[in-house]
Amino acid sequence: MSFAVSSRIVIFLFLTFVSQASYGATVLVLGDSLSAGYGLPTGSGWVSLLKTRLDAAGSDATVVNASISGETTAGGRRRIEALLDRHHPRVVIIELGANDGLRGMHIPVIRENLSAIVEACEKSGAKTLLVGMRIPPNYGRDYTEKFHALFGQISAQYKTALVPFMLAGFAEDRSLFQEDGVHPTSKAQPLILGNIYPQLKPLL
């Protein structure tokens, strides 16, 4: 086989690999009601908007929304292995912890569950994007600060991508939340995607 022919084969295989790496990836979203679209018209949640943005960018990536309203880190930990086996995602967006915080779960327990989810994703070969959250100050300064800090600590430990705060930029704007004061409205969903997409894009 001549050098020229072998070089063309190498280039072809390289381009094929790049193409497969850039397109056809599966993005798995493991979240709670903030990602499940609670109280929103169908198709208006940030996960649906993510698929629209990826399509507009020319990607044929598949977005699987495995989010469940009321989900906790313990629930996500129980489900992650089966989800990884079923969908073989390239990227897992982990948006869990808010319900744990609102229930006053012990920080070490939340940390252990999130760490186990990240480790399972790493073992499967998937990249992870950890989405941070804050809880109301009435839970006490010590608890709320430790709760928010754990997302950055886990990200640093496992070298994952991180969105420091899912609701950054509008958390104080009550007009962008539903009547319960917890779940963002459809108008806020593009803002959530705006916080998440810049950290997700390099992973694809």
Catalytic residues: 33, 180, 183
DSSP H or E run through 49: helix 46-56
Give the 3-state secondary structure of 120-137: HHHHHCCEEEEECCCCCH
CA 75 to chain centre: 16
164 contacts: CB under 8 Å, gap ≥ 6:
132, 151, 152
Residue 179 DSSP class: T
Residue 65, beta-bridge partner list: 29
- Answer yes or no: are the C-beta atoms of 152 and 191 closer than 8 Å: no
Measured in degrees and rounded to the nearest 5, phi and psi for residue 158 equal -100, 0
Interatomic CA distance for residues 28 and 91, integer angstroms:
6
